Structure 1
């Protein structure tokens, strides 16, 4: 009788998914390592997040025109962004549970359709109250898309390259932002402002084309599908209760605080910088678009650089580094003296770079903090609850803008980055961790 011991078992998530190529070297090794199926999933998630960004920025870019059309004050316009982000917490949590129950791809399509439909409806709003309601419902899809797409790609990516892979997904936010600025510049140049803001929302129908691609070409990672089916077979359905059990409670609470800090800082800038440039720096539509080009270019490169550094330095060090640099850039950007708009232009690049590079580790970090059975629930809940709490930063800026000025109130974004650094003391480093 043979005494040869059996080979060690391999957890489902550590197996190389079907179609993934062996890892190699080079600047695009992370992309080759995904394999054909993983690259199609990457394309779907990249497109989904880019169009998510596009639909989000239709509001901040049109905010001045919307305020004039409905006769809104700064607090009311800030509330439009806040309600989107607050409701996104519900959308993200629901989408996370759906991803764990029905699969990542199906949940991704549902979120994309949701945010596209309600973005278009915003363009038909007859009054402020209706616009506020449609924008809130848009938040349901907006909140879920990133978490589902990030999980989908994370489960195809290798531990070695996961930071870079998810950083590349994050960079699609800058692509969507840039597309929104281009469309904004053209629409507001050639269409009357009373109609132009509606046209911006109507262009939010673009994501419908992506859904066709995802349905035909994208599938869940085999390991994740196997674990989901096994869990369903044992009646072990993912639920919110599981992420609050003792073994995950600390992780969940500190991950929410981390998300709150980073997104509070980010959305303060994303919401109010266009208004700051136009109302306090006196820039035209063309001028605002030019200045935002520097900001967005920095953001795109920041996402890619942050993805590389989160694999080299670790998730926590990358976030700490760019939290400090982002806070410093905010203070510098909002204290540029009048008449020095050239310096404002130059500082836009490092501001965009730093406030985006900090996000690059989020997709990999949050995915690695939770096991497969509750990965969608955990990531969807923590990221979007943090987004909802961080949403009150833009609102606070809006209410203070009338007395402090938009530039003065923007310094509250720096406070958010301080919260993010504090949250890291309660979370483990996960670089190199296999998804179990």
Structure 2
């Protein structure tokens, strides 16, 4: 048995085999990320429809298009920071479900928007919920998981993004084929409320995690009850985690914070920039589609390739480890973006031809989505859920996730202007260089976490009765 498992009060939880209730926690946590990915793709389909509608209530220019595409992301930054702070301050359970309510209400109101300004506001409400979901769901899964399967379980929570993106492609195509355009985009927006709505009740009923109950609240009975939810037992010994001031936290965890926040910032610049505007990029490679349904399909194809990356990460997370998977992902992103840029023939900022067949070029570009998902897109979600002590876990995750969404919001807002001023060739070269920086930061600032208890990873000081263990 790992020494980290035996030295904390949570050895029985850490050494558990996978149980049905682990899967229940996974589903309860994962539906928020289904919604997150659905939203990422569906807004690009909504933009496609609005651009064709020319509705005077929904005018699109470089400013309104950028705001509509990025509004949920800017709001998500606030949600990640606020919910991250509250998750450590008042508990995971106290606020679990609130973010799902915000996602549900925001999606439904978006579908009813009378004009583009209300649509931006309602998507911001949804963004608050999406942001809040990151630190709370990741931490709940992390603190309930056994050591052997923890990486797999947290990765499975995040892999719901793969399912959400495929659902969005299907809903986007189905909506434009089944409804008039002025109705289709509203259907797309409304369906985003369904997955979040299904878990509101389950989230409100999820017990507080054993670690937070005991180490922060000092409630042994609540910790025992939460452990029994998994089929584990905790001895009736009072234990608590040594409090950390802000200065102590920064002094002890500054390098870890760089390792969890900076790669996520870099990753989301690439993922959201090429994701929301994948249609613009795929058109440059494959040519203009013959219908809006074909456009949605074309821009969804890279997500279909990326889908397999999520579950490759799930399968290998506890075998290869987080650091290796993140590093190889960044390295291959560096190579792929540079290669795709090299075969584009440009005149000014416009692509006028390719030096290789379009199908091969598109496949190479789509592979970037595979290695994003079988790489830093998954690992940057897992690492901050493991690297910080119980008293600062949702805060650390919230800061890291907010760093990522900041990169996403900046690139999403600026991408239309960058595409016009720099051209896709130079954008891809920029993404290649940034991915290389992500690989370097991973080497320097990321420590492997597989096979260790949360207390051992974070070097959390757990005081049990009169004994103090600094793992």
TM-score of the aligned structures, taking structure 1 as reference length? 0.84
Give 1:394's match in structure 2, choosing from 412, 418, 424.
412
Give 2:306's match in structure 1, choosing from 292, 299, 307.
299
Confirm whether residue 272 of structure 1 aligns to residue 286 of structure 2: no
SS of the residue corresponding to residue 155 of structure 1 reads helix
User: 1:101-149, CA deviations, whole angstroms, 9 ceiling, x for partnerless residues?
Assistant: 3433443311111122112222233333332222223221111212211
Q: Quickly say closer, same or farther: Cα 1:286–1:83, change in 2 above 3 A.
A: closer
Confirm whether residue 104 of structure 1 aligns to residue 123 of structure 2: no
User: 1:396-430, CA deviations, whole angstroms, 9 ceiling, x for partnerless residues?
Assistant: 32112224445653544334423322322133332
Q: Quickly say closer, same or farther: Cα 1:237–1:193, change in 2 above 3 A.
A: farther
SS of the residue corresponding to residue 112 of structure 2 reads coil
Give 1:205's match in structure 2, choosing from 165, 172, 193.
193
SS of the residue corresponding to residue 432 of structure 1 reads coil
Q: Quickly say closer, same or farther: Cα 1:260–1:240, change in 2 above 3 A.
A: farther
Give 2:49's match in structure 1, choosing from 65, 68, 71.
65
RMSD of aligned Cα (Å): 3.1
Q: What's the counterpart of residue 190 of structure 1?
A: 178
Confirm whether residue 148 of structure 1 aligns to residue 142 of structure 2: no
Contact 1:48/1:112 (8 A) holds in 2: yes
Shift of 1:393: 2.0
Q: What's the counterpart of residue 11 of structure 1?
A: 8
SS of the residue corresponding to residue 126 of structure 1 reads coil
Higher strand share: 2
**How many Å separate the matches in 1 of 2:65 and 2:48?**
9
Q: What's the counterpart of residue 462 of structure 2?
A: none
Contact 2:15/2:147 (8 A) holds in 1: no
Contact 1:74/1:402 (8 A) holds in 2: no
**How many Å separate the matches in 2 of 1:240 and 1:186?**
52
Shift of 1:289: 4.2
Shift of 1:179: 0.7
Q: What's the counterpart of residue 27 of structure 1?
A: none
SS of the residue corresponding to residue 281 of structure 2 reads helix
Q: Quickly say closer, same or farther: Cα 1:414–1:106, change in 2 above 3 A.
A: farther
**How many Å separate the matches in 2 of 1:124 and 1:38?**
37
**How many Å separate the matches in 1 of 2:219 and 2:263?**
29
**How many Å separate the matches in 2 of 1:386 and 1:229?**
30
**How many Å separate the matches in 2 of 1:9 and 1:309?**
25
**How many Å separate the matches in 1 of 2:188 and 2:398?**
28
Shift of 1:51: 2.2
Contact 1:298/1:348 (8 A) holds in 2: no
**How many Å separate the matches in 2 of 1:314 and 1:215?**
32
**How many Å separate the matches in 2 of 1:22 and 1:236?**
22
Shift of 1:22: 3.9
**How many Å separate the matches in 2 of 1:108 and 1:347?**
40
Alignment of 1:8-407 (within 5 A): 10-12=7-9, 14-17=10-13, 22-23=16-17, 33=18, 35-67=19-51, 68-69=54-55, 70-206=58-194, 207-216=196-205, 218-230=206-218, 241=246, 244-277=249-282, 281-283=287-289, 284-292=291-299, 294-333=301-340, 335=343, 337=353, 340-344=357-361, 346-347=363-364, 349-358=366-375, 359-405=377-423
Contact 1:101/1:237 (8 A) holds in 2: no
SS of the residue corresponding to residue 12 of structure 2 reads coil
**How many Å separate the matches in 1 of 2:293 and 2:261?**
38
Contact 1:154/1:363 (8 A) holds in 2: no
**How many Å separate the matches in 1 of 2:327 and 2:247?**
29
TM-score of the aligned structures, taking structure 2 as reference length? 0.78
SS of the residue corresponding to residue 391 of structure 1 reads helix
SS of the residue corresponding to residue 199 of structure 2 reads helix
Contact 1:89/1:388 (8 A) holds in 2: yes
Shift of 1:293: 5.2
Contact 1:99/1:376 (8 A) holds in 2: yes
The range that moved more, 394-403 or 145-154, is 394-403
Q: Quickly say closer, same or farther: Cα 1:71–1:322, change in 2 above 3 A.
A: same
The range that moved more, 73-82 or 138-147, is 73-82
Shift of 1:226: 1.9
Gaps of 5+ in 2: 221-237, 345-352, 456-471
